[in-house]
């Protein structure tokens, strides 16, 4: 068994034949954990900011004394911008 056997398929790509903004994120995260950093970036350019977002989100649940809302909102905006720009670059 391989980790790729457990990955979710993109409903947009499966039913409509069109990739969404998140297509490639799962595989890119797996590539990061395998140590293939440049391949992960080429697969999904927002992978590193996405991992930073999830790390900060987890930290916000552990550290209740500090407010992480501004950092999380900033990371969301950065991720969206990177995902939209890379989607446009890839398809047009």
Going residue by residue through the chain, which has 92 residues, state the pLDDT in tens, using 9 for 90 and above: 787 788 888 888 889 988 888 889 999 999 999 999 999 999 999 999 999 999 999 999 999 999 999 999 999 999 999 999 999 998 88
Can you give the residue ranges of every domain in the chain? 3-91
pTM: 0.86
Residue 50 burial (CB count, 10 A)? 22
Residue 1 burial (CB count, 10 A)? 5
69: its two tokens: 């809302």
Residue with the two structure tokens 């890839």: 90
- The answer to whether the CB of 88 falls within 8 A of the CB of 59 is no
81: nearest Cα among 46, 41, 36, 30 = 46
Q: What pLDDT sits at residue 4?
A: 78
């Amino acid at each position: 068994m391989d980790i790729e056997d457990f990955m979710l398929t993109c409903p947009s790509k499966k039913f409509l034949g069109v990739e969404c903004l998140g297509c490639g994120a799962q595989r890119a995260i797996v590539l990061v954990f395998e140590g293939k950093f440049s391949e992960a970036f080429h697969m999904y350019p927002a992978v590193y900011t996405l991992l930073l977002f999830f790390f900060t989100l987890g930290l916000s649940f552990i550290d209740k004394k500090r407010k992480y809302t501004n950092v999380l909102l900033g990371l969301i905006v950065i991720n969206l911008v990177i995902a939209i720009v890379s989607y446009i670059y890839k398809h047009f």
